[in-house]
Amino acid sequence: MENHERELIEKAVESNFELKKLYTQHQELDGKLKKLGKQSFLTAQEEAEERRLKQLKLRGVEKMLKLAAC
């Protein structure tokens, strides 16, 4: 997520419960991805989990941008 997108979302979070929920989920997914990224080696299962988390995070960003634009 780029800085201008993050700023737009952070402003809108204050007045939109659904957006706040998505933003919290986004931060949690980011933390999990960072934890996986610190590992020097990922198993096949961990690689699959990393892909799944990235997809969820991307879908969440798309939803947040739609909600923030309204």
Report residue 70's pLDDT band, with 50, 70 and 90 as the boundaries.
Answer: low
pLDDT (average), residues 42-60: 97
Q: What residue ranges do the domains of the chain occupy?
A: 3-69
| Nearest-angstrom CA–CA distance, 4 and 2 | 6
Q: Which of 14, 53, 24 is nearest to 36 (CA)?
A: 53
pTM of the predicted structure, to 2 decimals? 0.79
The residues, ordered by sequence, that sit 6+ positions from 5 with a Cβ below 8 Å of its Cβ are 61, 65
Span 3-43, pLDDT tens digits: 777 777 777 777 888 988 998 999 999 999 999 999 999 99
User: Of 33, 32, 10, whose CA–CA distance to 22 is shortest?
Assistant: 10
